[in-house]
């Protein structure tokens, strides 16, 4: 009976946004100067000692996608977290946000580390998800981080990524263009399966969307995205023969038009010319990195030929985390933290804390 009550469909979930400060200890805007001016990169930090885990998010996401993972890893090992909003994403402000080439973004990572630590950076492990995983590899291959300890890619494999590029525009077109509130955006992300973990979605989606300056501005078309909850409730009322459905819908529309809408912070469809450069040749670039390497995947079917051979030759450690979507570190932050912590301890890069016990995976 208790199980039935706790799982009853009538129970409302909380889709309200959560602040970054619930998960990170501090936030900083790092100014990078060069001959043409200044760029400002947003970072979120936690931890005081141990190696730096430099976290690079996927396309369209932000540093906030690492929030729940940060809490999980900090409680397991001695480490410092630096989660970075890449150019064109989150709260980072650069003069040319449209330039999302692998070379430019890799240089950004090196410049931010130099601005933070000068000529004597601490030991750094690069961890990247999807696009961020590709940028991590490009950064490592270009030798932009002299103190690099290790490299971790999360759910990015050249073969799978290149195959997926053909359908990427269709996927992007299928997403809502606007949301009537942050709650609505968070709810969509969970119910669509983009992020399968509500706790992570509540902090992460804040970095993916922004408030429109005007409801009818060009980047925020007038098309209103109805709340998913409201749609479900309307269906229920309709079944009961409720004649108030249309009336309430009109009231909702009027109310929504008075509010500021939310839209995506970055138009990923316009970045298509860079996609090939992120992923082509990635497997061999990853295998060529001399540092210890970890590959975390949502499914073993994602492995391409080069990585399969490399894995059989023991060139990197791999772990498959089933029952996850593409945003593995958001869907299963504790499992990802466990895998990363075990990897770092195994290579004697850090020490466990809080009684954390390593469980070395078979592969």
Indicate which CATH number applies to the domain containing 54.
Answer: 3.40.50.1820
Q: Is residue 314 part of a domain?
A: yes
- φ, ψ of residue 326 in degrees (nearest 5): -65, -35
Counted domains in the chain: 1
Q: Is residue 360 part of a domain?
A: no
Q: Is residue 298 part of a domain?
A: yes
Lookup result for tokens 């593995």: 328
Q: Is residue 146 part of a domain?
A: yes
Q: What are 306's two structure tokens?
A: 């080069």
Q: Are 286 and 137 in contact (CB under 8 A)?
A: yes
**Containing structural domain, residue 151:** 20-177+272-347
CA distance 56 to 339: 17
Q: What are 127's two structure tokens?
A: 């961890």
User: pLDDT tens string for the chain (363 positions)?
Assistant: 333 333 445 568 999 999 999 999 999 999 999 877 899 999 999 999 999 999 999 999 999 999 999 999 999 999 999 999 999 999 999 999 999 999 999 999 999 999 999 999 999 999 999 999 999 999 999 999 999 999 999 999 888 888 888 888 888 999 999 999 999 999 999 999 999 999 999 999 999 999 997 644 445 554 444 444 433 433 343 444 444 444 444 444 444 444 679 999 999 999 999 999 999 999 999 999 999 999 999 987 778 888 989 999 999 999 999 889 899 999 999 999 999 999 999 999 999 998 787 765 543
**Residue 185: Cβ-neighbour burial (10 angstroms; 0-12, 13-18, 19+):** buried
Q: Is residue 1 part of a domain?
A: no
Q: Is residue 307 part of a domain?
A: yes
Q: Rounded to the nearest 5 degrees, what angle is found at the Cα of 50, between the Cα atoms of 49 and 52? A: 100
Q: Crossing angle of helices 158-174/305-312, nearest 10°?
A: 140
Q: Is residue 225 part of a domain?
A: no
Q: Are 311 and 363 in contact (CB under 8 A)?
A: yes
Give the catalytic positions in this structure.
Answer: 130, 155, 326
């Amino acid at each position: 009976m208790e199980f039935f009550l706790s799982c009853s469909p009538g129970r409302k979930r909380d889709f309200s946004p959560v602040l970054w400060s619930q998960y990170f200890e501090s936030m900083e805007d790092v100014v990078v100067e060069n001959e043409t001016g200044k760029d400002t990169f947003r970072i979120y930090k936690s931890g005081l000692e141990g190696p730096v885990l430099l976290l690079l998010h996927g396309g369209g996401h932000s540093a906030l996608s690492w929030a729940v993972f940060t809490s999980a890893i900090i409680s397991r090992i001695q480490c410092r977290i630096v989660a970075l909003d890449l150019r064109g994403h989150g709260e980072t402000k650069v003069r040319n946000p449209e330039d999302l080439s692998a070379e430019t973004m890799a240089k950004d990572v090196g410049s931010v580390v130099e601005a933070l630590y000068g000529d004597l950076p601490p030991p750094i492990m690069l961890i990247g998800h999807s696009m961020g995983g590709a940028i991590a590899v490009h950064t490592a291959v270009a030798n932009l981080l002299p103190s690099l300890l290790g490299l971790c890619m999360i759910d990015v494999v050249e073969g799978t990524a290149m195959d997926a590029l053909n359908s990427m525009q269709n996927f992007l077109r299928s997403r809502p263009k606007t949301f009537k509130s942050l709650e609505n955006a968070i709810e969509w992300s969970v119910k669509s399966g983009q992020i399968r973990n509500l706790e992570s979605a509540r902090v992460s989606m804040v970095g993916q969307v922004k408030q429109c300056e005007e409801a009818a501005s060009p980047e925020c078309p007038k098309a209103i995205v109805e709340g998913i909850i409201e749609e479900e409730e309307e269906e229920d009322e309709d079944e009961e023969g409720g004649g108030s459905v249309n009336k309430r819908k009109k009231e909702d529309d009027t109310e929504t038009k008075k509010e500021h809408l939310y839209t995506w912070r970055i138009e990923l469809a316009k970045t298509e010319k860079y996609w090939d450069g992120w992923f082509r040749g990635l497997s061999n670039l990853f295998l060529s990195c001399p540092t210890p390497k970890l590959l975390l995947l949502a499914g073993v079917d994602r492995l391409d030929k080069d990585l399969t051979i490399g894995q059989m030759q023991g060139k990197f450690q791999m772990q498959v985390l089933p029952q996850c979507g593409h945003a593995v570190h958001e869907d299963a932050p504790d499992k990802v933290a466990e895998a990363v912590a075990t990897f770092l301890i195994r290579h004697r890069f850090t020490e466990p804390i809080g009684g954390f016990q390593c469980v070395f995976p078979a592969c």
